[in-house]
Amino acid sequence: MSDHAQRAQAALAHLASLSGDPDELYVHAANYALRLSSTGGTGVRAYVADLEEPEEDEMAATFEEPGEGEEPAVAAETETDETEDTGSIPEPGEPEYGKFFFRYVAVAAAKGDDQNFLVGKKLERGVGVSFCMVDNTPKQPWIDIQHVMTYRGPPLETREGDKPTDPDAPPPPTKVHFVGGFPRAGAFFAVPIVLVTGEVAGMLCLDSVKTLGGGNGLAIPDTDKDWVRLVAAAAATAMDAAAAQRRATLLQARDEQTAIVAAIAAAEAPDESEAAEGEAPKENEADAEPEPEEEAPPEPEEGVEMSDEDTIKALEFKKRDREKRLAVAEVALLATQKRLALVAHLVDLVDETALGEIRSAPRAPKQTWRVVKAGLYAAGFKKFEFDTWSLTRKLLGGEFRTKLQNLNPNDVTKRDAKAWAGVHKCLAGVTANAVVRESKVGAVLHRWVDAFVAVSDATLEVTELKTAIEDFETEVEKTQERIAEAVADAEAAAEAEAAAGGAEAEAEEATAS
pLDDT in the model for residue 273: 54
pLDDT exceeds 90 at position 423? yes
pLDDT in the model for residue 164: 59
pLDDT exceeds 50 at position 6? yes
pLDDT in the model for residue 469: 95
Given CA atoms 466, 471, 472, 473 in this order, what sign does their dihedral have?
positive
**CA distance linking residue 234 with residue 318, whole number of Å:** 69
pLDDT exceeds 80 at position 54? yes
pLDDT exceeds 70 at position 257? yes
pLDDT in the model for residue 173: 66
pLDDT in the model for residue 83: 40
77-91, 109-123, 311-325: range with lowest mean pLDDT: 77-91
106 φ/ψ angles, rounded to the nearest 5 degrees? -155, 145
Residue 158 exposed, middle or buried by CB count within 10 Å (0-12, 13-18, 19+): exposed
Name the 3-class secondary structure at 204.
Answer: strand
Task: Give whichever of 145-159, 411-425, 486-500 has the largest mean pLDDT.
Answer: 411-425
306-513 under CATH 1.20.920, yes or no: yes
Average pLDDT over residues 394-411: 93
**CA distance linking residue 337 with residue 409, whole number of Å:** 9
Average pLDDT over residues 30-42: 92
Residue 261 pLDDT class (50, 70, 90 cuts) = confident
What is the pTM assigned to this prediction?
Answer: 0.80
Task: Map out the domains of the chain as residue ranges.
Answer: 3-53+100-158+172-249, 306-513
**CA distance linking residue 309 with residue 487, whole number of Å:** 13
Quick: pLDDT tens for 108-160: 998 888 888 889 899 988 888 899 899 888 888 999 999 888 888 777 666 55
Average pLDDT over residues 460-472: 95
Instruction: Using a pLDDT cut of 90, give the percent of the chain over it.
Output: 51
pLDDT exceeds 70 at position 304? yes
47-61, 123-137, 206-220: range with lowest mean pLDDT: 47-61
Q: Which has more confidence, 226 or 498?
A: 226
pLDDT in the model for residue 84: 41
51-55, 139-143, 299-303, 364-368: range with lowest mean pLDDT: 299-303
* Distance set, CA 384 to CA 29, 48, 51, 387, 419 (Å): 27, 23, 21, 5, 12
CATH architecture of 3-53+100-158+172-249: 2-Layer Sandwich (3.30)
195-204, 253-262, 409-418, 447-456: range with lowest mean pLDDT: 253-262
Residue 142 exposed, middle or buried by CB count within 10 Å (0-12, 13-18, 19+): middle
pLDDT in the model for residue 159: 56
pLDDT exceeds 60 at position 299? yes
pLDDT in the model for residue 162: 60
**CA distance linking residue 244 with residue 83, whole number of Å:** 27
pLDDT exceeds 50 at position 429? yes
Residues in contact with 322: Cβ distance below 8 Å, sequence separation at least 6, in sequence order: 465, 468, 469, 472
Residue 45 pLDDT class (50, 70, 90 cuts) = very high
Q: Which has more confidence, 172 or 330?
A: 330
Tell me what the pLDDT averaged over the chain comes to: 84
| Residues comprising the chain, all counted | 513
pLDDT exceeds 70 at position 88? no
